[in-house]
Chain A
């Protein structure tokens, strides 16, 4: 990794400050705290009860980027968790065993409630069972049916709305002592939709050539506020407004994507990436891309909290509970494989990408199952080359830099070769 100073944009600095402010709120002891997960999270609803939103996967990511997750995972394995268990889970369990210290250096309070709002990842459910055992606190598990046929049905939506009314809201009222006010929810959802418009503008800004941003490595910063504790707030609206201005300025200046080492000098490859990034070697991983002049113009991971661009979803304040149900149902990993194929194939064509790269995660079946089949189908549909690499989320043992680099280099050269393919016919034996 380069020892050079990391270049950060104004929006990145604001984002960092927002995330740390949320940690201060969680650990401040002045409000109730809910643990919940990123995909399909019900932040606006929690805000109606003045409950702070603590996201265990974000904690695992923060610990991984600070190079702390390895020890935490070892700690969890020592406690009996198998090598094959999701490494987010083990990082979380290990963090608890090591004193449950938040990234701001203060101890996490015990959660007042565990709110599971997306069950497409079965591991989430087991994870909360473990936490429930630990904290003995109220636990609400909202069952979100899998959208197996591609489109969620009205029955599915009604089923979720009923659970919200009968289980989730009463539980939150009980824990917080605050009465549910649907107008308050509407107001938050209205704000969500405003920020969501700018978020989608950001996602689509990469259609420009050169792309002003990287929508995978850079994208994970940009999606931070909307997928964590800020959706529905004025701060999120302001953040995405500023981000939009910042990106517009980059487009006006014709700049290539921003990286930790400054603006990429040249955009040589435009990629679509499927799957989460590796967090323990995040910068090294990114470096392999920008050193080759590769920018990610679209990624499924930037839709992991909720999907906005594919079918135009925005939170709808006029149908507050229904819109939350739709949000949960639309989570990327809750979509059927054909839908995911369609999303990625459309991204490849609409963003004029050179190819698809799949980063398959060892310990995440939600993402990884079926990826090879998806890859073949996307290759067939778009005629664009695809490649497959394998890493892990937060377990440093499963990032083999030499192997990943080898595959990436091969892939970039394969794209070069394809580009020259017109002239290759004469190059026979």
Chain B
């Protein structure tokens, strides 16, 4: 089938979205940009195709009893299979790195430790993907990395190997493993193995195993033809595409927001390194835009920096800030100075939730300035980008929009991170269909 793909190469993550000829979104994929946009583009595209196969499988199963349950179980198990496959590749690579002359000293202990760490991660894997299990990140790098760090310390101590050396081996290997893109055949195998596991886990489903296998085989047999691919985002020039396949992320975000919410006239996008205020017309065409220049204070990376300063995860910032009883005023928009202000306020006895609430407000005040310079908010408004997932940021934004522009419809899609990719895919479709 003909498909249209938009790839948004952001500074932090790369997103891909795949749609069919009728503008139906079939799949979405995301991966970390890992300073290698070629790989990030290929991985996110493969992930979007995986998403598309799930959608197609869902369509094949229809709404029969237990279809949703089978699908969600398959999804979990597919991810487990995918994780195990990558883990296997990581172990192979680590063992190969061990052959380097510099690791000859203490090699047996290192070898033994590596095997032990990987066996333990392998054993833990089903728990990581168990029903209801929460993961701080879905990226292999993050999950495997944090487990490796945790386990390697104990294991190395027991085996008398150097923990530092093990980490060094891991660091060398993960880059290599991350640079590989799963083939369609490998993905198909993971689907099939995932289904075997899923079938064992589910009962009370109307769909028989043979029937499910046939449906899956049929779905896996569908060729997802990359009819037209459009790239956007900071890494777009790195894409192996001709120039006409590249669109500015401002246009893609404008169009993507329009596709999600056709009534949108203003879009605010806060990504890893920039904040964009975009005005669009009734057809999603950009009429005006403003973005930060020279300085990326107040963008997604700012939150990452603050999380690092506080030694907490990025996803924990919003929930902690939501517990605030007041908002501590943070004056500096400079990321580094904000870190200094943070320590200063902590020393003065302010609580972490109150300080974080203040930091979220500082970001949003900066975004409001860009927004007003782009033309302000006069009608329906859409907030997109990674920061739109942060509930505290959203809360501050809602308040500031109300204070400055009155009651406006504010749209935030749970899929807002894919707005640029959606716009890209729409441009791709338009290039061929119209």
Contacts and interface: CB of A to CB of B under 8 A. Distances in A.
B406 interface: no
Give the interface SS of chain A, mostly helix, strand, loop or mixed.
helix
Contacts of B248: 406, 409-410, 413-414
A98 B209 CA distance: 83
A421 B293 contact: no
Contacts of A372: 373
A69 B142 CA distance: 45
Contact of A390 (B258, B294, B430): B294
Interface in B211-264: 234, 247-251, 258-259, 262
A429 interface: yes
A64 B284 CA distance: 41
Contacts of A421: 281, 283, 285
A427 B281 CA distance: 12
Given A376-B375, A390-B294, A414 B434 contact: no
Contacts of B291: 403, 406-407
A414 to B, nearest CB: 5
B287 interface: yes
Interface string B271-299: 00010000001011111111101100000
A221 B285 CA distance: 37
A159 interface: no
Contacts of A427: 283-284, 430, 434
Most chain A CB atoms below 10 A, which of B259, B262, B285: B285
Contacts of B294: 362, 390, 398, 400, 403
Given A410-B248, A413-B247, A417-B251, A389 B293 contact: yes
Contacts of A413: 247-248, 251
Interface stretch (A121-129, A236-244, A340-348, A380-388): A380-388
A6 B293 CA distance: 30
Contacts of A385: 287-288
A428 interface: yes
A375 to B, nearest CB: 9
A424 B285 contact: yes
A361 B281 CA distance: 29
Given A410-B251, A418-B285, A388 B290 contact: yes
Nearest to B276: A410
Interface size class of A (residues with CB under 8 A): 20 to 34
B234 A402 contact: yes
A150 to B, nearest CB: 26
A417 B284 CA distance: 10
A425 interface: yes
Nearest to B261: A429
Contacts of A403: 274, 291, 293-294
Contacts of B284: 424, 427-428
Contacts of B281: 421
A391 to B, nearest CB: 8
Contacts of B286: 410, 414, 417
Nearest to A405: B237
Contacts of B249: 406, 410
Given A424-B283, A425-B283, A406 B251 contact: no
A379 interface: yes
Nearest to B23: A429
Interface string A410-424: 100110011001011
B233 to A, nearest CB: 10
B169 to A, nearest CB: 35
Contacts of A410: 248-251, 286, 289
A285 B288 CA distance: 22
B283 A428 contact: yes
A266 B19 CA distance: 35
A402 B283 CA distance: 29
B19 to A, nearest CB: 12
Interface in A346-387: 362, 372, 376, 379, 385-387
Contacts of B373: 372, 388
Contacts of A362: 294
Contacts of A409: 248
A429 B285 contact: no
A424 B281 CA distance: 11
A116 to B, nearest CB: 31
Contacts of A414: 248, 250-251, 285-287, 289
A357 to B, nearest CB: 13
A428 B293 contact: no
A381 to B, nearest CB: 15
A429 B251 contact: no
Nearest to B372: A372
Given A413-B247, A417-B251, A424-B283, A429 B258 contact: yes
A403 B434 CA distance: 32
A406 B296 CA distance: 14
Most chain B CB atoms below 10 A, which of A410, A424, A425: A410
Contacts of A424: 283-285
B380 to A, nearest CB: 13
Contacts of A425: 283
A268 to B, nearest CB: 12
A400 B294 CA distance: 6
Contacts of A390: 293-294
Contacts of A400: 293-294
Nearest to A398: B294
Contact of A417 (B234, B285, B293): B285
Interface string A47-59: 0000000000000
Most chain A CB atoms below 10 A, which of B249, B259, B284, B288: B288
A379 B287 CA distance: 10
A407 B23 CA distance: 28
Contacts of B262: 428-429
A69 to B, nearest CB: 17
B24 to A, nearest CB: 12
Given A414-B286, A427-B284, 9 more contacts: A390-B294, A403-B274, A403-B293, A410-B251, A414-B250, A417-B285, A424-B285, A427-B434, A428-B284
9 contacts: A386-B288, A402-B234, A409-B248, A410-B286, A413-B248, A414-B248, A414-B287, A428-B262, A429-B23
Which 4 pairs show the lowest CB-CB distances between chains A and B? A410-B248, A410-B250, A390-B293, A429-B262
